[in-house]
Structure formats: structure tokens, C-alpha cells
Amino acid sequence: MKALTYTPSLAKYVATKAGVPGAGALELTDIRPPRIPGKDWLPVRPTLTGICGSDLALLSGKASLQLATLTSTPFVPGHEIVGTIGAGPRRGERVVVQPALGCAVRGLPPCPECAQGLVALCRNTTDGDVSAGIQTGFCRETGGGWSEGLVAHVSQLHTVPDDLPDEDAVLVEPLACALHAARIADVQPGENVAIIGAGTIGLLTLAAVRDAAPSATLICVAKHHGQQTAARRFGADDVCAPDRVYIEGARITHSRRLVGHQGREMLLGGFDRVLDCVGTGESLEQATTITRARGRIVLVGMPGELKADLAAAWLRELEIKSAYGYEHDFPRALEFAKQLRPGRLIDRGWPLRAHKKAIEHAPKAARAGRSKTVFEVAA
């Protein structure tokens, strides 16, 4: 069975960081189909798998090394999966995989987080029936989406309704994250919200926040021009480029903009909620300077290692919350996907053997507003 396996090593890590081409740790290999670890596990054949920003960060060496502690190599990446069940009575059923490997999946008694339903925040991700891994797609034994077959626990599988096409279904996982982030952000009606970043996560978060608070003023900070139209379609009231955030923000929130040394700007006053879907040092610093005192910053997605001057966070007594994963958001996401049609974000599907091209092409496509690239595994 074909699969893209990620086999990191120090040499490859250094080479990737140094930018040596062709030194990637990702290879198309022929592997045995993954073993079923126990009962309640089913084989899944992926139809479409998304390439997430975190996967790209991982492959380009920009991912935080803290992540590595919670993964078991070598693994097959890919956690945004829509596929069909491969065997058993439910064979052929279209499902979406919720990748989080919680206590239930691992056959352990539920930890406090899993008891609350916060499966993505499970403490026991290094124990249990399968090897360590926070999600499918970071675990050696489960396999991942970038292959022709993986195994998933029954609790991970959500049936895809018939009127939801595969393109929309593959984005249900990020949409679930977005809904979760929107709930964490807890936008009150009429508030000013800024969403920094208009990639997949940014746009889906934008849609989720718009759905959660229809009367809020949403401004999306999109770096690339192609993303601006997508942002408007996904529900932003206003779109601006990162260098104009302060000017637009001052106008929207009726605050004053001060320009300090070395071009550092800040707003006196600012947004009530800022959701950072980019995860770089600049975006985080910008987020702290555009939020009003005692406002809330929500960090969405999975960042790399970053360096930021967060003095403003202290000065303004900001709440910095983070949204990772999902609670019980998958059913809601499946419903929402029917009306949102997130499949519009997909640029194109690549076969597994063209993985080099796909990985190379994915960021470029993201700048044009079609931010998602997927692998078309099965027909």
C-alpha cells in the first residue's frame, strides 16, 4: 500500500532548516496496511485528505520541537480525512475522521479532559493501545490520511450526510476547529472583532464567528490580495492588509493610533476580540497592540516557534486564550458545512505520487485565495 511516510532525523532537520532542496523527510513508500489495534477499530480508505498548514510547517522544519514530543515517528501525516470504511458491516460508508486520539480511542479510563469532552486536550496521548500521538496523522500505528489506508476508532468516525460532497467534507475538521475557536472567542453582539490571517483556518474562523455573532463588526487582515475577496465572501465586513491594520482599526473602533519608534504602532483603544489565525511573532505582537484593554486574543491553529514582544499584553491586561481542536463540534461542523460550502477553498487535488509538487504548490495557492490543497487518494 502506498503511503507518504515522514521519517525525521537530525540530519534531515538541519538540511531542511538550511533550505537544501530535496532533503525532505517525506517519502512515498510502500507499506503494509496498518494493523487493527483492537476491537472497535475500523480500516478507512481515504478519498480526499487535506494538507494542513501544520503539516507544511512540519515538513519545512518550522514546526515547534515541542510537538515532536507528542508524536511517534515514522508516521504518515494527514489528519483532515474524508474516506470510506474499508471492512466490516459498515463497509463503504462515507465518513469523516476526527483525528484526536483521546482516552476512549486508546482504551484508557477517561482523563479529566476526556471526561469533559475535550478529546483534543487529552492527557494520555502517550499511553494506551496505540503509540504516542496527539492525532491521527502524528501516530505511528494508526496511519494517516496521506496513504491509501489507515485505521480509526469507531468514536473517531462521523458519517457524512449524502448531500455533503467530499470537497466540503474534507474541510469539516478545520471547520470544527474554527467553530471551537469561535466559541472560545465568545463574541458578544455588536463587538469589534479582528481576525488576523485569511488562510484556511482564518477564513473558516471568520465564517464561524460570523455565524456565532451576526451583528459583530468583523475585519479580516489578509496579507495577500487574492485572499481579500475570499475573506469578503466568507463574511468579513472589511478586509485590509497587515500594514494598514492600525489605520483601519482606528477608524472602525474609533480609537487613536500612535506611531512610535521604528515604525511600531499601537491603538489607544482597539478591538474587543482578536483571533490570530496566522501564528507568527508579528501577528501576535500586532494582535496585542490592536486589542483594547482587557480584550481577548484567541490563538487559533498550530503555530511554529515564534518570537514576539508582548509588553502590550501586560499593559492592557489582555486575556490570551487559545483554541485547539474541538469539543463536540463535528456534528455541528457537518451541518454548517452544508450551508457554508467550504469546498470553495480547495485549489486542486494531487495524487500521492506528486507529493513534492503538491507541498511546493500549496503555499502559493494559499496566497491566491484558494487556500486548501488536498491529496486525492482514491477516486
Partner 1 sequence: MRFASGGRRLEKLAGANASRRPAAPRKWRTLAAGRDPWSGRGVEDQPWLRERKPALLREVAQQALLFPATRAVAMPTIVGAQDLIHAPQPAILAPNHESDIDTPLVLLALPHAWRSRTVVGAASDRFYRKRAYAIAAGFWINTFPFDRGGGQRRGLAAAAAHLREGRNVLLFPQGTRGAGPEGYRAGVAELALTASAPIIPVHIEGSALVMPKGRGLNRRAKTKVTFARPLHPRAGETPQELTARLHDAIEG
Binding-site member from 17, 225, 244, 348 for partner 1 (CB under 8 A): 244
Cis peptide before 74 (omega within 30 of 0): yes
Task: Please tell me the distance from the alpha carbon of residue 100 to that of residue 49, in angstroms, as a whole number.
Answer: 16
- 311 part of the interface to partner 1, by CB under 8 A: no
60: DSSP letter: T
Site size toward partner 1, by CB under 8 A = 13
Binding-site member from 90, 251, 344, 367 for partner 1 (CB under 8 A): 251
- 32 part of the interface to partner 1, by CB under 8 A: no
Q: Taking each helix axis as running N to C, give the angle between helix 200-212 and helix 329-340, from 0 to 180 degrees, rounded to the nearest 10.
A: 100
The nearest distance, CB 245 to partner 1, in angstroms, is: 10
Q: For 208-305, list the strands marked E by DSSP.
A: 217-221, 238-240, 256-259, 265-268, 271-276, 291-300
- 278 part of the interface to partner 1, by CB under 8 A: no
Task: Please tell me the distance from the alpha carbon of residue 222 to that of residue 198, in angstroms, as a whole number.
Answer: 5
DSSP H/E element including 331: helix 329-340
Specify the residue, 165 or 242, whose C-beta has the smaller distance to partner 1: 242
- 233 part of the interface to partner 1, by CB under 8 A: no
- Taking only Cα atoms into account, the Rg of the chain, rounded to an integer number of angstroms, comes to 20
Specify the residue, 196 or 250, whose C-beta has the smaller distance to partner 1: 250
Q: Which stretch binds partner 1 (CB under 8 A): 88-96, 168-176, 241-249, 295-303?
A: 241-249
Altogether, the residues listed in the chain come to a count of: 379
Q: Phi and psi at residue 73, in whole multiples of 5°?
A: -95, 160
The nearest distance, CB 258 to partner 1, in angstroms, is: 6
Q: Is 117 left (phi over 0), alpha (psi -120 to 50) or beta?
A: left
- 258 part of the interface to partner 1, by CB under 8 A: yes
The nearest distance, CB 182 to partner 1, in angstroms, is: 30
Q: Which stretch binds partner 1 (CB under 8 A): 191-199, 252-260, 274-282, 366-374?
A: 252-260
Helices assigned H by DSSP within 217-328: 225-233, 245-253, 281-290, 311-315
- 375 part of the interface to partner 1, by CB under 8 A: no
Specify the residue, 261 or 307, whose C-beta has the smaller distance to partner 1: 261
Binding-site member from 20, 87, 115, 259 for partner 1 (CB under 8 A): 259
Task: Please tell me the distance from the alpha carbon of residue 49 to that of residue 174, in angstroms, as a whole number.
Answer: 12
The nearest distance, CB 257 to partner 1, in angstroms, is: 5
**Binding stretches for partner 1 (CB under 8 A):** 244, 246-247, 250-251, 256-261, 263, 268
